[in-house]
Amino acid sequence: MSENNKSTNSKDEQLEQFRVDDEGKKLTTNQGVKVSEDEHSLKAGERGPTLMEDFHFREKMTHFDHERIPERIVHARGFAAHGEFELYESLKEFTKADFLQNPSKKTPTFVRFSTVAGSRGSAETVRDARGFATKFYTEEGNYDLVGNNIPVFFIQDAIKFPDLVHALKPEPHNEMPQAASAHDTFWDFVANNQESAHMVMWAMSDRAIPRSFRMMEGFGIHTFRLVNDQGKAHFVKFHWKPVLGTHSLVWDEAQKISGKDPDFHRRDLWESIENGDYPEYELGLQIIAEEDEFKFDFDILDPTKLWPEEDVPVKIVGKMTLNRNVDNVFAETEQVAFHPGHVVPGIDFSNDPLLQGRLFSYTDTQLLRLGGPNFHELPINRPVCPFHNNQRDGFGRQTINRGQVSYHKNSLAANTPSPASEEEGGYVHYQEKVEGRKVRSRSESFKDHFSQATLFWNSMSEPEKQHLKNAFSFELGKVKSKSVQQQVVDMFGNVSLELAATFAEAIGAESPSGKESEGYEIFPCVKPA
């Protein structure tokens, strides 16, 4: 045996102890503790907030947040621009947020558009959801509206987010396909996590191939709260409406453009701003009074559901104009750090379990991606208002703090920096009453997975329906597992027998059997006792 072969065999033997086959094994934490439940985060009551003591969720999410360096785990392929936001009318009735009070005030903004699945080097006109994240540099601090161009999401609970992205990303054994969902693991996830049905319908539609960032809607997805200066709260969903209207590419156009210009969307945005043809988006709000929380036949906290606009109209309240390109893509576009937990007084959270998990995940991700706790000091992330606290040191520290005191409470610096009262602009969380046992569970009101997907299908024109049929046929035609193909056919038979039968025939699967959803009220939202 040659020395080279001996060396190779020795290395293989050395690595053997680290090779693990997970098939057929019980799920455990990284500490070896067997896990009894992996579908639901630990909550205070079925519709209550996620609890910090959920060690399994925290370990799972922390590991996921730190899996890739240096680019973002998702939304790696992005482009951004600066702008400003102007209010049309005061929203004092609904919120005390300062930037939503005075129509004569202009608030600086920074917006990053992105694909979700692909790497930084992937093409831009792929079939995918798009990120639409906006940072408002307000006089009360930074407010981040972190959304997508689709109003719903694949999953209902943040504990499933690592699973979704693992399934959506290139398959780990061969790192293929890039920036695409036409493969086995994605569709296997869909078939076995049927809460994804509504989002998949959007993802297979023309909405997943926007013509331009300038012609793309944005949605905050989650249910948030607006709180006014009297302490009264309303539930709210946020919308961005492009002034140019919403337009898409068809699949054949998208494929040809990807081959000719993989930078098509960023080039379009860059050139339009350079030419003075500034993209504009109107901000819209859907608002529900707290006393109306349970009057709908869906749960308003479910992130796989939208609020039908005919039931909850969108109130247009302002306009954002993107009027300046970045000076340096890395320093601005890549180093910008968004977080749905970056809020200002007057904007608060709901118990949406996907939102609750994101409030943990985003800070955790930035710690790794941007090298430590001082990512807020990078120029693109710095608020326009002063900030003072007792945080010190750490990677990338730029602030030079004077004095000997870095703790609270203290007497050596007259107990400063000191907390601000609500009257002084201090952030006070909305005092929602929370009761319930600590459980890993999902509210019954979250268990209707198909009625809104059916409504989406029924809202399509005939050409749009044909595009959906073509998309399912193409995507599932790339799936190698006949079992996965059949599972998806059977699943979407619950949405539309016509749709499922069409792509079943195209991929050589059996037509679905069963009865499709006929409306909303399958698991209506009922106020807890």
Q: Two tokens at 493?
A: 């038979």
- Residue 83's alpha-carbon distances to 5, 136, 220, 376, 404, in angstroms, are 61, 9, 19, 20, 40
SS3 110: strand
**Residue 431 to residue 296: CA distance in whole angstroms:** 23
∠ Cα 296 299 302 (to 5°): 145
**Residue 64 to residue 172: CA distance in whole angstroms:** 15
The residues facing 144 across adjacent strands are: 135
Q: Which long-range contacts (CB under 8 A, 24 or more apart) does 25-33 make?
A: 29/55, 29/56, 29/59, 30/59, 30/63
- Residue 318's alpha-carbon distances to 235, 247, 258, 283, in angstroms, are 19, 21, 34, 5
Residues contacting 466, CB < 8 A, separation 6+: none
**Residue 117 to residue 131: CA distance in whole angstroms:** 11
Q: Verify whether residue 193 is a known catalytic residue.
A: no
Q: Is residue 232 classed exposed, middle or buried when 0-12, 13-18 and 19+ CB atoms within 10 A define those classes? A: middle
The DSSP secondary-structure symbol of 86 reads E
SS3 145: strand
Q: Which of 56, 75, 183, 234 is catalytic?
A: 75
- The residue behind tokens 């809460």 is 195
Q: Which of 142, 148, 149, 494 is catalytic?
A: 148
Residues catalogued as catalytic: 75, 148
